[in-house]
Structures are given as C-alpha cells and as structure tokens.
Amino acid sequence: MRIFRGPPAEDRQETCNKFAMIDPSPTDILVVCCAALAHLYYRYKSRASLSYPPGPKPLPIIGNTLDIPTFKGFEVFAEWSKTYNSDILYLGALGKHIVVLNSLEAANELCGERSATYSSRPHLTMLCDLMNATRFMAVIPYGDAWKARRKKFQHHFPPNDPSHIATSRSEEFVRKYLLPNILENPRDFHKHIRSTIGGIILSLAYGLRIRRFDDPWINLAELTLQTTTEAAVVGRYLVDIIPALKYVPEWMPGAGFRKTGKEGRKIVDDFIDRLYDAAVEEIAEGVAQPSFVSLALDENDETSIHNLKEVIRETAGVFFAGGSDTTVAAVNNFVLLMTLYPDIQAKAREEVDTIVGHDRLPSYSDKPSMPYLTAVLKEVLRWRPVVPAGMPHCTTADDVYRGYFIPKGTIIINNAWAILHDEQHFPKPDHFDPERFLTTSGQLRKNVLDPEVTATFGFGRRTCPGSQIAQATLFVVAASFLSSFSILKPLNEKGEEVDPLVHYSGKTMVDHPTPFACRFVPRSKGARALIQAEVLNLDEKL
C-alpha cells in the first residue's frame, strides 16, 4: 500500500519560509474579515427573506400543531392544495417542519432529482426511540447502514425483475393455501388473504415452514406490523412533536404512550430476532426452503457472516414490514372492486379464460398476455393507493425550491393520493375505470402515468425495494381468483344482492378497507376439481 508522505523536507521548509515572509497589514486583515462577514450576512439574509410554502395560518407558540390531521390526512392535504392554490404546503409545529408534496412534479424534483438531500427518514420519537423500529430498513435514516441493507436486499431480489423464487413461491401459496381455504370457508376470505400473503413474504425472507391455519409466525408478524404502522403516522403521537415527553415517567397521567412504546419495542425485537433465529435453526436442520436468509448466509464465509449478521437479520425483517400489509390492502381492494363492478370482472375473467383455459391455474408468466387484467390492477393501485400519504422522507440539508425555504430536518410527505387523483392526469379520478390505461385496440397505453411505477411504491432512493414481489403476488392472486371463482355481491335477508358496506379509516399508514361481505362461488365443477387437486399432496406446512 502506498503511503503519501508529503513533499521532501527541503520543499516543506521553503514553503514555511514563504509563509513566514507574509506579514499581513491591519488593512489586509480588515478586508478579509469584512468579506467573510458580508458573505455570511448575505447568505443568511437571503435565507431569512425567503418564506415557507403556503399553508394554514399558525397560532402563536404552537404553530400548526392543531392543524395536523390524525387520520385521512392525505385527503385533507389534497383539499388544502385547492384552498391555497399550491401543490406544495407547509406546516410548522413546535419547531418541527412539515412539507407536503401534492403533485408528481414536486415529488419527482425533490425526492427524485434532489434525492441526495431528500432521502432520509424523519426521526419519529415513538417509532424510533421508544419502539426501536430503526431496526427496520424502511425506517433507518439515509446513510451507510441503510445502503448496506438495501444493497443486500437488491443483490438477491433485483428491482423490476421478479425472481423465479418470488413468483414460484407466490403461485405455490396461492394454489395450496389461498384457493383451498376460500373454497372450504369463503366467509373468512379476509383472513385467508392476509394469512396467505403473510406466508409468502415470511417464506421468501426466512424459508420457514408456514402452517396453513393460524401460524404463530404470521401472528407475530401481523402484531408487529399493526404496532409500527400506527406509530408511523406523522402527528399521531404528541411525543413526536415534543420529543422531551419520552422522559416522562410511565406512572404520570397522560403518559400511556410510554407503555405503548415499551410494548412496541418488545414486539419489534421479538419479530426481528426470533424469526431470524428460527430460520437459522431450520437451515441447519435442512428443512428450510430457499430464502433471503439462506442465500445471504451461503454467499459468505464465517468471518464475513459474523460481521454481516445484523445486516442480514434486519434486512430480512423488511420483507414483511414493507410488503405484506400493502399487498393485503391491494388484494382486498381488488376483491371489493370486482364485487362492485361485475361488468369489469366479467371482462377480466374472459381474458383469463382465453389465455389460461380451464385445465390449469394462471401463473405470473401469463401477465404479458393479459393487458386488460393488468390495466385493472393498475387502476386498483391508482383508485385507492395502499399507502396514500406515502412513507415520509426527511431533508438532510437546507434547500430552496420555487423560492420557498425548506429547512434541514423537514419532514416531507409525498401525497400519493393527491398525485394519483390529479385530474390533469386522470380525468374523473374518483371513477374506477381500467380503460384509462388502454388504447382503443385494447393494448396498454404508454402515454399515461403508471401507478405501478409512479407514487404507489415511493420516490427516489427510498422507492420500495420489494415492489416487484408485491406486483407479482397481486397478479397471481387476482388471476387465480378470476379463474376459479365468481366474486358476487352479498345477499340481504330477502335474498337480494346488495352493495357491500365498507369504509376506510385512514388511521394507519397503510389504508385498508374495513372487512366487507361478498360471495366467492366456484365457477364450475372443473374449477373446484383443480383447486382440490392442489390439496391432495399438501403437507401441514409449506
């Protein structure tokens, strides 16, 4: 290794002599000091003269603390854009800065083109300090730790390239778990969807054998997800606005959040540590399926494994945290929309029948031949974004955008709801219309914003790394449902079809429809036989 030792000793002495000969006069010193002061003055004066983006008028001391919506904020922010005639909004609350981006242009320019400044995560006290959720890659601030985990994930599951292991695992779970469970007990389809998708994700991450019913690993993962997604909503907990409250004793009135944080920390640690340890044990026993953990462990020797142990452990955790809940929400939205729009369901089913026939179940490889179903799924993601307010970003330096000042540490909310309901891009945005993505000849349009690559899965360097897994799973589930079942409206007491009752709470980061009723009816004896054939050789666990 070459070591730079500087110039020879005689050259260094000559340089020192030259500096020693410099004898600055008081005038020289004054000029330099005045120049430095002028630079600092104009630099900070220019920043001070800039205003924040428009937004609600703040109150003295507390600012916009009372204006921050605690549920369905994405809809409130979209309305504010009309009120203030701006696609970029600002709220200030007790020293916290929040900027909401309600347009694709603003989100792309800041979180995309200026991603070096806009790629970190806000430090939410409840989520990060009290629950220790920074062990999840999605929550880690931008830096070396995040880069190491993202690199490890993408090495085994490259973006925009669904791997064979991901698609085959999705098909396996759908055929052996989801379809048979719905055939046997269609009323509990919500439970079956959640359990199956959870099984797919945990299997891909850890290779664990998953029970067909009531799997304890899925139960732990679901509890972890519910706990952390509630804490990830900006403004949900006052301690996120006033971090010093984390030091309040648990016994004090109003300090119930401390207990919530303590319980959340145990849940997060149990999830990350226990699943990884179980995966290592099953790998050693030779009973685990190929997974991220097994692939990551196989490619390293013992020395590097010791150094990368936490990277592998915590990267595995992001599979479920980042992919399960969002995919469940998308599938539930698909089922709801097929129930509400039977004509669209019939057209999509006709395409599936044409390509697949009646002697087999669909596979992911059929997707290129199904433009109409692909358009339906794009519209599902657009009509009801699964993470409507996006995962918040955070700035790592001061910035100026369109003449507005955005301070370092500002929480950036990319409002996917507003972007995907922008009337300039999507006329009649509240109307569910897959045809908006199709040409008159029935092929996919290329001149329309694509929800699968725009807004749905984030922006810039923090785009969801597992989006290809989610999209593959969504397609396999949707095509399999259409091939096997008719999804019908529920019946009232008189035996008449009625629209299902459903609403969206908007209280968590991932926005689910409330459980709704519908009927899954096998399309034919042949469809029933295909499903039952998949169960004949099914073990208790996959």
Nearest alpha carbon to residue 175 among 14, 361, 408, 343: 361
Read off the pLDDT of residues 325-345 as tens digits, 9 standing for 90 and up.
889 999 999 999 999 999 999
Q: How many angstroms separate the most distant Cα atoms in the chain?
A: 104
Flag whether pLDDT at 14 surpasses 60.
no
Q: Where does 290-370 have alpha helices with state H? A: 292-298, 302-340, 342-356
Lowest mean pLDDT among 37-51, 106-120, 221-235, 425-439: 37-51
**DSSP state for residue 452 in the 8-state scheme:** T
Q: Which residue has the tokens 């006709």?
A: 350
Query: Residue 483 and residue 478: Cα distance in Å, rounded?
Result: 9
In terms of Cβ atoms closer than 10 Å to its own Cβ (0-12, 13-18, 19+), residue 254 is exposed
Lookup: tokens for 274: 């226990």
The more confidently predicted of residues 208 and 321 is 208
Q: Are strands 411-414 and 393-394 parallel, antiparallel or unpaired?
A: antiparallel
**Residue 100 above 80 pLDDT?**
yes
* Residue 290 in tokens: 């190929």
Answer whether residue 81 shows pLDDT above 60: yes
What does the pLDDT average to over 427-441? 96
Q: Do residues 316 and 191 make contact, with C-beta atoms less than 8 angstroms apart?
A: no
Amino acid 44: pLDDT: 46
Across 209-213, average pLDDT: 85
Separation of alpha carbons 71 and 309, rounded Å: 38
Is 464 annotated in a binding site? The answer is yes
- The separation between CA 267 and the C-alpha centre of its own chain, rounded to angstroms, equals 20
Q: Look at residue 430 in the predicted model and tell me its pLDDT.
A: 95
For 135-163, give the DSSP string.
GSTTTSPSSHHHHHHHHHHHHHS-TT---
pLDDT digits (tens, 9 = 90+) for 368-422: 999 999 999 999 999 999 999 988 999 999 999 999 999 999 999 999 999 999 9
More confident residue, 34 or 508: 508
Least confident range of 7-21, 65-79, 300-314, 491-505:
7-21
What is the pLDDT, as a whole number, of residue 2? Answer: 37
* CA 141 vs CA 212, 271, 304, 320, 357: distances in Å: 37, 21, 24, 19, 49
Helices (H), 387-447: 416-420
C-alpha to C-alpha distance for 481 and 131, rounded to whole angstroms: 38
pLDDT at 22: 43
Residue 132 gets the label, from left (phi > 0), alpha (psi -120 to 50) or beta, of left
What are the E-state strand segments in 154-268?
none
Long-range contacts of 60-69 (CB under 8 A, 24+ apart): 61/94, 62/93, 62/94, 63/91, 63/92, 63/93, 63/94, 64/91, 64/92, 64/93, 64/98, 65/93, 65/94, 65/241, 67/91, 68/93, 68/98, 68/234, 68/235, 69/235
Kindly report, residue by residue over 148-169, the tens digit of the pLDDT. Answer: 999 999 888 887 666 678 899 9
Q: What is d(CA 454, CA 463) in angstroms, rounded to the nearest whole number?
A: 10
Rounded to whole angstroms, the Cα distance separating 406 from 413 reads: 13
For the cut 80, the answer to whether the pLDDT of residue 25 exceeds it is: no
What is the per-residue pLDDT across 124-134, written as a single tens digit (0 to 9) for each? 899 999 999 98
The answer to whether 52 and 88 are in contact (CB under 8 A) is: no
What is residue 92's predicted lDDT score, i.e. its pLDDT? 95
Euclidean distance between CA atoms 231 and 247, whole angstroms:
18
Q: For the chain, what is the mean pLDDT? A: 87
User: Which pLDDT value is given to residue 43?
Assistant: 44
Q: Please state the pTM of the whole predicted model.
A: 0.85
Min mean pLDDT across 14-18, 286-290, 385-389, 441-445 is at 14-18
More confident residue, 2 or 369: 369
- List CB contacts of 92: < 8 A, sequence separation 6 or more: 52, 58, 63, 64, 98
Joined tokens for residue 32: 């330099």
Amino acid letter, residue 67: D
The pLDDT score that the predictor gives to residue 47 is: 56
Closest by CA to 511, choosing from 103, 136, 230, is: 230
More confident residue, 212 or 404: 404
Question: In this structure, what DSSP letter does residue 94 have?
Answer: T
Closest by CA position to 264, among listed 308, 230, 218, 236: 230
